Amino acid sequence: MFKIKKNSLNKLYAAIAEAQTLYIPCNVNGKPNFAVWGEGADVDLASLKTVKSAKEVFFPQCEDIVSFKTKGKEITVIDCRKESEDFVVFGVRACDAKSFEILDKVFLSDPVDTFYKTKREHGTVITLACSRPEESCFCSAFGIDCAEPSGDVATYFSGEYLYWSPKTEKGLNLTNSLKNLLEIANDKDNLALENEQKNIREITKKLPLYGLDLSKWGADDLLEKFNSEKWQELSSACLGCGACTFVCPTCQCYDVRDFDKGNGVQRYRCWDSCMYNDFTMMAHGTPRPTQMQRFRQRFMHKLVYFPSNNGGEFSCVGCGRCVEKCPINMNIVKVIKAFGGEGK
């Protein structure tokens, strides 16, 4: 375990950014989001949740796939992938860190998505334990301990210090490169940190969504849940705006589109939402013509279909972003509860 004074953090950012790109929550246009650090950046590690999740560093909202040149009847395919460079993402909360494991199951399963894989290989994840979990948080329902996040390096704020604990070889390498900025933590520090973590876990237990029970969910009773009449009422106010999918750290649906640049065609992929009516639209119609069906698809996928394909694991980490952002105040918690998953 290492530590660094809070007021020296800018030196730490600068040292990391000297060798590789550093993504860190910054206030950009008044909102906290992961952004590339540079001198004078308005770093914001105090806000608990960035608006968009950290998945963006591995699965960008918009990403070029391949370019084409066309001339008459001829087409040339141009591989526009750039050589990947190492980068660090700092300040990832425990829930977002867990979402990477869920996205891994999608993008790293055969056949592998090489765009995602390359970024995963080149990225070092520095997590940050939550100091003040908020009322929309329910990560504990998915077995996540927000006081002890995973990652290549886990960090924790306590008193005057940021504590720094490397957890993987990647994390150790980064730590070694920053040795002259990090002090070694002593027994007193360890004790203070343990107390801090204990306090955080106590706060977690007092949160309104603590104890959310997911035992009614999982791979079983797929058709019974699908055919339930509850979906109609749950979805009745849904606007289909898709905000929940865009802030979600585990939503991974994407669209592939072509952009005619005038001197060539750029094929790119971008986040999409199963909440949209054209998501499944084909020439002869769509299999999900109603918002109820689209709403049901999103939650069935997270709570039933994904677990069915991934050993019972849910495609939700309880970050609570959708709980905060939904304009009609509907969310996954209400869906979980509607099927008997009452909080304790």
**Footprint on this chain of other proteins (rule: CB under 8 A):** 65-66, 68, 70, 73-77, 79, 81, 106-107, 109, 111-115, 117-118, 219, 222-223, 226, 252-256, 258, 260, 265, 267, 269, 272, 274, 279-284, 286-288, 293, 297, 300-301, 304-305, 308-309
- Closest contact distance (angstroms) between CB of 91 and other proteins is 27
Cβ atoms of residues 122 and 84 within 8 Å: yes
Cβ atoms of residues 307 and 173 within 8 Å: no
**Toward other proteins, which CB reaches closer, 81 or 179?**
81
- Closest contact distance (angstroms) between CB of 253 and other proteins is 3
- Closest contact distance (angstroms) between CB of 27 and other proteins is 32
* CA end-to-end distance (rounded Å), the chain: 36
Torsional class of 288: left (φ above 0), alpha (ψ -120 to 50), beta (otherwise): beta
Alpha-carbon gap, residue 255 to 139, rounded angstroms: 29
Among 223, 222, 237, 216, which residue's Cα sits nearest to residue 292? 237
Cβ atoms of residues 75 and 69 within 8 Å: yes
**Toward other proteins, which CB reaches closer, 178 or 222?**
222
Torsional class of 137: left (φ above 0), alpha (ψ -120 to 50), beta (otherwise): beta
**Toward other proteins, which CB reaches closer, 222 or 243?**
222
**Own/partner long-range contacts of 184-187 (Cβ < 8 Å, ≥24 apart):** 184/1, 184/2, 184/3, 185/1, 185/2, 185/3
**Toward other proteins, which CB reaches closer, 98 or 296?**
296
Antiparallel, parallel or unpaired: β 161-166 and 183-184:
unpaired
- Closest contact distance (angstroms) between CB of 130 and other proteins is 29
- Closest contact distance (angstroms) between CB of 282 and other proteins is 5
Alpha-carbon gap, residue 24 to 40, rounded angstroms: 13
**Toward other proteins, which CB reaches closer, 69 or 198?**
69
**Toward other proteins, which CB reaches closer, 288 or 325?**
288
- Closest contact distance (angstroms) between CB of 263 and other proteins is 12
- Closest contact distance (angstroms) between CB of 60 and other proteins is 14
**Toward other proteins, which CB reaches closer, 114 or 232?**
114
- Closest contact distance (angstroms) between CB of 77 and other proteins is 6
**Toward other proteins, which CB reaches closer, 112 or 191?**
112
- Closest contact distance (angstroms) between CB of 115 and other proteins is 7
**Toward other proteins, which CB reaches closer, 19 or 270?**
270
